[in-house]
Structure 1
Amino acid sequence: MAQEAGSDELTMRGQVVDIIGAILADTDPRGEESRNKLRRLVEAHPGNPEAALLEHLIETREVAEAEREVPVEQASANLHLESSDNAQTVAVPVSHAVRGDIQAILKDKLLLTAFQPVHALPGGEVVGVEALTRFVGVDGAGADVWFREAEEAGLGTELEIAALLCALTAAKDVPEDIAVALNLTPATSRDPRVRNLLAASPLAPDRIIIELNGSLAGAGVHSSDGLGPLRRLGLRIAVSASGAGYVSMDRLEELNPDIIKLDRHLIEGIGSSDGQKIRARAVAELARELGAFVVAEGVETPEELDEVTALDITAAQGYLLGRPSVHPLDWSAWSIKAQAQPAQ
């Protein structure tokens, strides 16, 4: 265990060094003062980049906290992001407090991508990974909190695009025989910058899966100004069927997804609940009627795995099968294991 922990520490240190390098490589003159402070912190902590980055993050958060002490005002936040289309500047009304948090993330690139393996059933070989965003910070807030606050601040699309770029950059280390699922809201999927990022990615379109989250109204999966052109080249679409409320049949037929996912609400306790089994079976049969694959997510117990396997579910993911990891060595190990399994 000590050896494994040491390996994790070395991998994390490499990621910290990469984050520091990305921050210092930025050329935006507005961030020069912050970069100079980080340089001084790195010099003050020789051989300990983790301490330097942590102090940098604390200072970043303290600025935001200081702004919270001022009565909340509304300001126009201009955020400039380059794309292979014309550069775009977005002006939105946001509170100073939330704006400080989100803009710090966007400016300093304090994002990591963890991949979680997706296992084919019943064989168990790894056929894909799902990209999950992790935020480097000191408050312990989860990704859902960050994305919700960004959406409330009018910067949801900007944060999603930053996370997408981070995931595509990390995906270069995912073995070529593994598909990569990327999470987007339908609104962001229609942004031309998304199409441009995906088209410029080294990932072949048939390795890319876009998981649409949230309301599916107006998802641009067929139109010429959305993901339609890439979908015709092989990009796949996944949607989630939740126990909290199914996607309507009409909407599913319109989207014609390639993958329908059974989320944790439909999987939890399926081994002991006839109601859960009936609901999961209904979604699986609907998916097959539409010609879609079915993936069960949130599988956490052997009983749940047995039940979804008995339902002829295409694939599954969850803590029982593999936790999300930010370590490229883990991603390669999944692929090696998948290649070895058929011979066993």
Structure 2
Amino acid sequence: MSMDPPSFPARSGEEPPRRPAPGSPDGDVTPGISRQAAAIIEAILADPAPERAPVRDRLRDHVAAHPGHPETALAEHLLSLGSLASFPAGAAGPVPSEGQHPAESPAPAVDGALSRIDAVLKGRMLLSAFQPIVDLTTGAVVGVEAFTRFVSDGGPTADWFADAAAARLGSELEFAALECALATAMHLPPRLYVALKLSPAICLDPLLPALLQESTLSPDRIVLQLTEALTAGQPAALAAALAPLRRTGVRLAVEHAGTYPDSIPRIRQLGPDILKLDRTLIAGIDTDPLRRCFGEAMTAFAEQLGATLIAEGIETSAEFGAVAGLGIRTGQGYFLGRPTTRPRDWARWDLPAVEARSRNVPGGSARS
């Protein structure tokens, strides 16, 4: 869950931090997570829209049920909505399964998008969730991937990043999601790296280096994860723009490796540190010879590049076994752990390898 508003340079349209919402602890001793949850609660309750009155009433019930614990009240409220829009930080659309290509959807309606996105930006009504990335040989969590969750009753088809792009607020929303993820990541176990999903356009934005440098997250824990297919000319531009950051220890990851035309030569030109195989390739890899052959080829390609290969979207024990059998050492997916906003879940990822193995690999009884 999102913590304190970050101390990065203010962007246009931002408001000062809000006072604590009803039910929150008073004074400077309030933990960061409680203060941010209280601010989000206040923003929701201050919304005058009549059509959202049932949502406000439901939230008031949760606040009343957990006096002095706004973070618990907000978490239960989000779970009860059932229509929480969840997207990777900076992504251009929904992700049906972790790491899977988003489905094609009609162009978003611009009507109402501007005010809706503007309200999210001003009220900081977004949270960060993290999904564990696991060493498949030891079961230890080695990193996380950041996802953005929006506090909204907008319905299951709410396409926040596409709507933001249509309203010419795409960069603003991506940067807000990035700021939220960087601030929240400070509450993760300090040995874990954080994969931040960004579009190539944001990676080329001159504001990005300053934003990362203002963060207290050390560069060697930051992974910039490109969310879109690379187009002709982008690898050279990205390599030049990101070279100074990479020299400080920031790493670069590419999603959907090998799944679009010309991806192999463009990835080779970019030279990322991490390649990610998405759910479309992992689904059924235990029974599909073609997927297995592709996995073998991508394993060899990653070795040639000197890059780490990560299998996304591992959802069954059989898929886990097939991926591990290919020699892929790192993976993520619902079988290993779902994205979560809860600090108590994050704390469990800081386990010794032996104990972690009992939780995160076949034969263990628990999941993150």
Structure 1 residues 285 and 241 mapped into 2: Cα distance closer, same or farther (>3 Å)? Answer: farther
Q: Please give the secondary structure, in 1, of the residue aligned with 2:217.
A: coil
Q: Paired residue for 1:279, among 278, 282, 294?
A: 294
**Other-structure match for 1:258:** 273
TM (normalized to structure 2)?
0.68
- Structure 1, residues 75-126: CA drift from partner, whole Å, max 9, x if none? xxxxxxxxxxxxxxxxxxx945111111111111110100000001221111
Give the C-alpha shift of residue 193 in structure 1.
2.0
Assess if the C-alpha contact under 8 Å between 2:281 and 2:291 holds in 1.
yes
Which residue of 156, 181, 206 corresponds with 2:170?
156
- Sequence identity (%): 41
- Offset, 1:204: 1.1
The gaps in structure 1 that reach 5 residues or longer are 1-9, 26-32, 36-40, 59-93
CA contact (8 A) 1:135 1:142 kept: no
Select the residue among 224, 234, 237 that pairs with 2:249: 234
Alignment of 1:327 onto 2:327: no
Q: Secondary structure at the match of 2:133?
A: strand
Quote the residue 2:189 is aligned against.
175
Secondary structure of the 1:275 match is helix
Residues 328 and 246 (structure 1 numbering): CA distance in 2 closer, same or farther, change over 3 Å?
A: farther
Give the distance between the partners of 1:162 and 1:296, measured in 2 at CA: 28
User: What is the alpha-carbon distance in structure 1 between the residues aligned to residue 291 and residue 173 of structure 2?
Assistant: 35
Tell me if structure 2 keeps the 8 A contact 1:116–1:325: yes
CA distance in 2, matches of 1:142, 1:281: 36
Aligned to 2:121: 106
Q: 1:130 to 1:246 in 2, by over 3 A?
A: farther
Aligned residues: 278
Partner amino acid, structure 2, of 1:306: G
One-letter amino acid matched to 1:158 = E
The equivalent of 2:19 in structure 1 is: none
Q: Cα offset for 1:252?
A: 1.1
Pair 1:204–1:291, CA change in 2 (3 A): same
Q: 1:326 to 1:229 in 2, by over 3 A?
A: same
**Is the contact between residue 138 and residue 353 of structure 2 (CA under 8 Å) also seen in structure 1?**
no
Q: Aligned equivalents of 1:302 and 1:161: distance in 2?
A: 37
Pairing partner for 2:230 from 216, 222, 227? 216
CA distance in 1, matches of 2:358, 2:331: 21
Q: Does 1:202 align with 2:216?
A: yes
1:137 corresponds to 2:152: yes
Equivalent in 257, 264, 274 of residue 249 of structure 1: 264
> What residue in structure 2 maps to residue 303 of structure 1?
318
* Paired residues of 2:129 and 2:146 also in contact (CA < 8 A): yes
Native 8 Å contact 2:257 2:263 kept in 1 = no
Distance 1:241 1:45, change over 3 A: closer
Q: 2:169 and 2:271 mapped to 1: Cα distance?
A: 29
Bigger relative contact order, structure 1 or 2 (CA pairs below 8 A, ≥6 apart)? 2
Q: Is the 8 A contact 1:134 1:142 kept in 2?
A: no
SS of alignment partner, residue 349 of structure 2: helix
* Cα separation, 2, equivalents of 1:206 and 1:336: 20
Is the 8 Å Cα contact of residues 314 and 333 (structure 2) preserved in structure 1? yes
Code of the residue aligned with 1:203 in structure 2: it is L
> Would you say the 8 A contact 2:110–2:163 is kept in 1?
no
1:141-164, Cα deviation, whole Å (9 max, x unpaired):
468x21122122221111110000
| Structure label with greater radius of gyration | 1
Inter-CA distance 45–252: structure 2 relative to 1 (3 Å threshold): closer
Are 1:185 and 1:214, in contact at CA under 8 Å, matched by a contact in 2? yes
TM-fit CA distance, 1:221: 3.6
For residues 70-149 of structure 1, the aligned pairs below 5 Å read 95-141=110-156, 145-149=159-163
Separation of aligned partners in 2, 1:320 and 1:238: 22
**From 186, 199, 206, the counterpart of 1:192:** 206
Instruction: Write 1 or 2 for the structure with the bigger share of helix.
Output: 1
TM-score (normalised: structure 1): 0.72
Q: Deviations over 1:34-66 (max 9, x none)?
A: 69xxxxx89x95953659x98xxx9xxxxxxxx
8 Å Cα contact 2:229-2:256 kept in structure 1: no
**Equivalence for 1:290:** 305
Q: Counterpart of 1:335 in 2: which secondary structure?
A: coil
Tell me the SS of whatever aligns to 1:182.
strand
Deviations 1:313-332 (A, max 9, x none): 12000000001110111111
Residues of 1 paired with 2:154 and 2:357: CA distance? 44
In structure 2, give the amino acid aligned to 1:168.
L
Report the CA distance shift for 1:102/1:328 in structure 2 as closer, same or farther (over 3 A): same
